[in-house]
Structure 1
Amino acid sequence: MERWASNDLLVGRPLVSTDLSLETERSSVRVTYQGSPGTVIEAMVLNAFPNCIAAPQKRSEGALETVQSSLADKAVLTIENSSIGSFHQSYDLLLSHNLQIVQEVHMDVELCLLALPGVQKDDLQTIFSHPQDLAQCEHSLSNLGVSKKNVDHGAAGAEIISKQNLRGAGVIGSARAAELYGLNILECNFQDASPNVTRYLVLARTANIPKEYEQYKTSIVFGLEEGPGTLHKALVAFWKRDLNLTKIESRPNRGKPMRTLGTEKQFNYIFYVDFEASVAEIPAQNALKELEEIASFLRVLGCYPSTRI
């Protein structure tokens, strides 16, 4: 697993034990995420945590594992985009790692079309970017008539184009990526929809302890026993107490992928639910107790404030 320290942000170097002793001196939180200099998520991290030590990782799994092993304080996970919906892998990672959501951040994302100096749109044959960024620009790319090539993120595509001098290629990325890798911005706001808002979750080892009636959201994940109407019963537990659900997401139950419905075999799911309340509030506590009675398992993923930058 690779670990990186941000005081060498543009170069990158392994994060070593001596870096850990610097936290007290600098009083800076160490924030890790999947990405590199010039990625959109880097902009979110530096906006939300302006004095942080940024610690980019190659994969989201690595970011979460770095926090679990106490080599970083917080991990940032991209969870949803207003144009293309949920990031399903991120939901799976929430369940597979023992971390707590401590903050939610919404950020307007502007994606740019980048290429080498002198290259025009008509010269482009291939566009590099992360699959999710390509999906946010699907209509715009269709109008260009180009092929698409997946990379880890837009900054990685910008680096490839710059180092290999690919004059027939462009990349969807940030304005900062253009600056870092010597590319021109052919078009700003290249995404299909504006505003284009991405929702991020901040995770830590220790849960928030909210005071009663603070404005918090809570995220949970649960499975249900077999039987008719169990999902309805689960959701009614919140409706009866006037708790507003803001998100419901289903994912395959990998531990038990099939269930029996009469004589038929059906896919089995687990459910992620967000609702507007903190676990310090009595209605939320009662709803969770009722849900626990019909759930095959129930886990509180976090109780947290929501901000926009």
Structure 2
Amino acid sequence: MVLICLFGNIAGPLSASDLSSSWGVSGAYSETAAEKAYPNCEAVPCEQFDIAFEVTYCGEVQLPIRHCLLANHGVRVEDLTRVLSHPQALAQCENTLTTLRVIREAVDNTAGAAQFVALHKLKDTTDVASLGAARVYDMNVLAQDIQDDADNITRFLMLAREPVIPGTDRPFKVDPTKNSRLK
């Protein structure tokens, strides 16, 4: 699976006014990938794929995905009746979720699920998301590394407003100077 990250502080910033902010939220795996690739970047969420494809491809980063079972403080595993997360995350945690016997509900992204559960103070609902989402939304981590495959890795595309010439310290599979526009 390939997901897209937009980086704002690489060769010309993207601002929140350029893009709508509901496609990605704080605590998302894409935000972690952005920080891994460019520690000082501004990760900008994108609601519409067509906007994302107007920016320049500048590389990729592979991120190990470590799913966690998150809930509001005071919620116990025995209290759970349903779980929210991205469909891919739900599928990647099939063994754990089957054991819990919870109803699965698919949402747009893992961090969005955490945000929803925390905001609504749900007491019977858990979500599958990252440790970062647990920190951002002040959630309790009921279990860590619940993915079925311990080698679960996602590739994230790196995009920027202007072409970025890769340094020798970062290996890229595609030379962004030869494939600068995705469109």
Shorter-chain TM-score tier: 0.7 to 0.9
How far residue 187 of structure 1 moved from its aligned partner, in angstroms, is 0.5
Do residues 162 (structure 1) and 164 (structure 2) align? no
**Superposed counterparts of 1:4-15, under 5 Å:** 14-15=16-17
Q: 1:194 to 1:36 in 2, by over 3 A?
A: same
State whether residues 5 and 14 of structure 1, in contact with CA within 8 Å, keep that contact through their aligned partners in structure 2: no
State whether residues 33 and 63 of structure 1, in contact with CA within 8 Å, keep that contact through their aligned partners in structure 2: no
Q: 1:209 to 1:158 in 2, by over 3 A?
A: closer
Unaligned 5+ runs, structure 1? 8-12, 17-31, 68-73, 75-100, 219-277, 279-299, 303-309
**AA paired with 1:57?**
C
Q: 1:192 to 1:61 in 2, by over 3 A?
A: farther
Do residues 188 (structure 1) and 177 (structure 2) align? no
Of residues 36, 40, 51, the one that matches 1:47 is: 36
Residue of structure 2 in register with 1:111 after alignment: 67
How far residue 104 of structure 1 moved from its aligned partner, in angstroms, is 2.5
**AA paired with 2:68?**
C
Residue of structure 2 in register with 1:81 after alignment: none
Q: Report the TM-score when normalising by structure 1.
A: 0.46
**Superposed counterparts of 1:149-298, under 5 Å:** 149-204=105-160, 217-218=173-174
C-alpha distance in 1 between matches for 2:132 and 2:28 = 8
| Structure 1 stretches of 4+ moved >4 Å | 4-7, 204-210
RMSD: 3.4
**AA paired with 2:87?**
P
Q: 1:168 to 1:193 in 2, by over 3 A?
A: same
Larger Rg: 1
Residue of structure 1 in register with 2:83 after alignment: 127
How far residue 192 of structure 1 moved from its aligned partner, in angstroms, is 0.8
Q: Report the TM-score when normalising by structure 2.
A: 0.74
**Does the residue aligned with 1:46 lie in a helix, a strand or coil?**
helix
State whether residues 7 and 158 of structure 2, in contact with CA within 8 Å, keep that contact through their aligned partners in structure 1: no
Unaligned 5+ runs, structure 2? 1-5, 10-14
**AA paired with 1:15?**
S
C-alpha distance in 2 between matches for 1:104 and 1:180 = 25
State whether residues 34 and 43 of structure 2, in contact with CA within 8 Å, keep that contact through their aligned partners in structure 1: yes
Map Cα deviations across residues 169-200 of structure 1 (whole Å, 9 max, x no partner).
Answer: 00001112112212100001011111211112
**Does the residue aligned with 2:114 lie in a helix, a strand or coil?**
helix
C-alpha distance in 2 between matches for 1:62 and 1:146 = 36
State whether residues 60 and 172 of structure 2, in contact with CA within 8 Å, keep that contact through their aligned partners in structure 1: no
Relative contact order, higher structure (CA 8 A, sep 6+): 2
How many residues are matched?
164
Do residues 64 (structure 1) and 18 (structure 2) align? no
Decide which structure has greater helix share. 1
Of all paired residues, the percent bearing the same amino acid is 36
**AA paired with 1:64?**
F
Q: 1:207 to 1:180 in 2, by over 3 A?
A: closer
